[in-house]
Amino acid sequence: MSQHAFDYNQKRRARTPHNIFNMNIILVHLFAVVILFELNLIHWFWLIPVISISIMLFQYFYWKSLLTEIKKHAQSHWYIVANWSLAIRHNKIVFIAYLVCGTIFLTGYGISNYMTTDPNMGNIGMMVFLYLSGNLMLITLVVTFVLSSGAIWHTNKGEITRALEKIKAGLELPR
């Protein structure tokens, strides 16, 4: 891990994708879940992945525009683009977790509703799959939050981690 002399503006712009990612986790996945539970609006839980994926898509499209900008001319600093790439990796982990947890949940829904005639057994089975998928999602969110918080810490210090070095090597920088 090496340290470079980046100016404040570069560090701030490199920190931005990680801040957006962490705010997505805090506001959407933490506070929105608590609010929906407290207001007994469990049937509105579909809003959480929709809002979260929308935020991730906005980040993805902005990252793509940064990549095309850096390929045409070096107006964007590689450090900023590399940090956006790292945040997109964290978004991909969360998106894959959505797919896996959604598959577990839908499998449980199918098993619980169509494999038993007793509605109480169906409810019990549904709760098992709901907790399984929910806890897997929670673990994924905690791990990616810690990764992103570490990236913010390294960015504040202006450090270049191995992950950023690998991303820099993969960028097609103009000469």
pLDDT in tens, 35-70: 988 998 888 988 999 999 999 999 999 999 998 888
Domain ranges of the chain: 2-170
Catalogue the E-assigned strands of 110-151. Answer: none
- What is the pTM for the complete model shown? 0.88
* Share of residues in the chain with pLDDT > 90 (%): 51
Longest dimension (CA), the chain: 69
Q: What is the DSSP letter of 30?
A: I
The CA–CA distances, whole Å, from 39 to 26, 33, 46, 64, 160 equal 18, 10, 15, 38, 44
Phi, psi for 2 (deg, rounded to 5)? -120, 160
pLDDT digit string, tens, across residues 83-130: 999 999 999 999 999 999 999 989 988 888 887 777 788 788 888 888
DSSP assigned state of 140: H
Task: List all residues 6 or more positions away from 107 whose beta carbon is below 8 Å from its beta carbon.
Answer: 129
Cα 158 to Cα 62, 65, 144, 163, distances in angstroms? 22, 24, 21, 14
- Phi and psi at 28, nearest 5°, equal -80, -50
